[in-house]
Amino acid sequence: METSTMPASLRDELAIIQFDRLRQRIPILYVVLAMISAGAGLASQGDFPIALQLAMPILMLVASIWRCHAWIKRRKLVVSGEEARRYLRRVNMLSIILMGASSIWAASSFLITVEASRALVIIFIFLAASACASSLASLPSAAILSLIVGLAPTSLAMFISGDVRLIALAANVIAVSIFQSRLIIGQFREMVRNLELQTDLEALANTDSLTGLHNRRSFSKLLEDRVSQYASSEFAIAMLDLDGFKPVNDRFGHAAGDEVLIALANRLRGACQPGDHVARIGGDEFAIIFGHERSGAVLEDGIAAIGSVLAEPYLIDGHHVFVSASIGTASFPASANTVNGLLNAADSALYIVKSGRNAVADKAASSPQGQSARRAA
């Protein structure tokens, strides 16, 4: 399956999954290859030249033990996507080298050994190639190359032997290899589909369906991670509550209200910097986790800029409507050093801002100008 069109994060996750599966299976593969090498060496006694009878099986045995030990040490290794891809490229290269050497040994042995022993050669190389392909199934390129490189020379030698029985056997070996390759590709495609489905489900579980922002669940997880992983770093959060949104719903309906929320969410996202996490945590409640260190005047200026952007008029059904936001902030660790403490501090700051705005609005409404405006309305 084509993976070049995947998002980078998904490609990284796929590479890590492939690496995890390989490091579970490859040590067992090398144990099997060591057993096959030892068996091939014992079975070749008396018929093979000493170089083919001992040198190649011993070399394969030593290489298998060495590589098995190397992969066992990687059992608990934590890798990034790029590191995983680097290991996958090595596996591709080593699979060609390993099966290429085995294939040369098998083809040479097939050509020079007596007819009665040729079947043993075919059995051992087929077992080795099949074991490699099965163990490397999560990396189809390495798995299929193992089959091609491992079986092609011996199969060709069987075809040109002129022996109908060997030709029939070679045809069956190729047919089984093609079948195994199709299974490997099918399994890999299923793995990719499952990964994409899992990613989509996680996105649905962590995304607000209306605005595309993080939802409350995702916001809580991001905040917990930020507090626990960056305990020595300063950062700030903001809680936003909309002012004037209910009249929009009452006058124009909920569909218009949704349009305002979508437009506001886009403005909020645009007003924030890369690395900031913006969430909708309730009907008309939003929150921000600032990705970069902000405090003091820098934080105040940023909040003021966000407030100005959100307060610009929204066009609904040909009418300009005005919705603003009360914003309360809290800084870690100055305001609090726990998740709940930060949320409470931001809520308290929001309450103060909201109360101040309401007091100003009430004062304006009770003034003679405000009363005249109400009578005129």
Q: Per the domain annotation, does 3 fall within a domain?
A: no
Note whether residue 210 is domain-resident.
no
CA 179 to chain centre: 30
315: which strand partners? 320
Looking at the structure of the chain, the number of domains it has is 2
Q: Domain boundary residue among 152, 172, 205?
A: 205
Show the tokens assigned to 144: 């299929």
pLDDT at position 45, please? 58
Whether 1 maps to a domain, the answer reads no
Q: Does any domain span residue 81?
A: yes
Statement to judge: residues 263 and 224 lie in one domain: yes
* Rounded-to-integer distance, Cα 365 and Cα 372, Å: 9
Give the tens place of pLDDT for each residue, 223-280. 998 888 766 678 899 999 999 999 998 889 999 999 999 999 999 999 998 889 999 9
Q: Is residue 143 part of a domain?
A: yes
Radius of gyration of the chain (CA): 34
- What spatial distance separates the first Cα and last Cα of the chain, rounded to whole Å? 65
For residue 196, the enclosing domain spans 8-205
- Sign of the Cα torsion 151, 152, 154, 155 reads positive
From 205, 225, 254, give the residue that closes a domain.
205
Co-location of 191 and 279 in the same domain: no
Q: What angle do CA 263, 266, 272 make, to 5 degrees?
A: 140
In a domain, 2, yes or no: no
Give the residue from 363, 331, 357, 334 showing the smallest Cα distance to 346: 331
Of 9, 8, 17, 2, the closest CA to residue 202 belongs to 9
Q: Which of 205, 231, 264 is the last residue of a domain?
A: 205
Q: pLDDT tens across 124-176, in order?
A: 889 999 999 999 999 999 999 999 999 999 899 888 888 898 899 889 999 99
Tell me, yes or no, whether 162 and 37 share the same domain. Answer: yes
- Please tell me whether residues 292 and 168 are part of one structural domain: no
Indicate whether 211 belongs to any domain. Answer: no
For the chain, what is the largest distance between any 2 Cα atoms, rounded to a whole number of angstroms? 116
Whether residues 175 and 258 share a domain: the answer is: no
Same domain, residue pair 92 and 241? no
Cβ atoms 35, 60 nearer than 8 A: no
C-beta of residue 279 within 8 angstroms of C-beta of residue 268: no
271 and 334 both lie in a single domain = yes
Question: Is the pLDDT at 355 greater than 70, yes or no?
Answer: yes
On whether both 257 and 347 belong to a single domain, the answer is: yes
- The verdict on 198 and 276 lying in the same domain is no
Position 373 scores a pLDDT of 33
Do residue 197 and residue 222 come from a single domain? no
Phi and psi at 75, nearest 5°, equal -55, -40
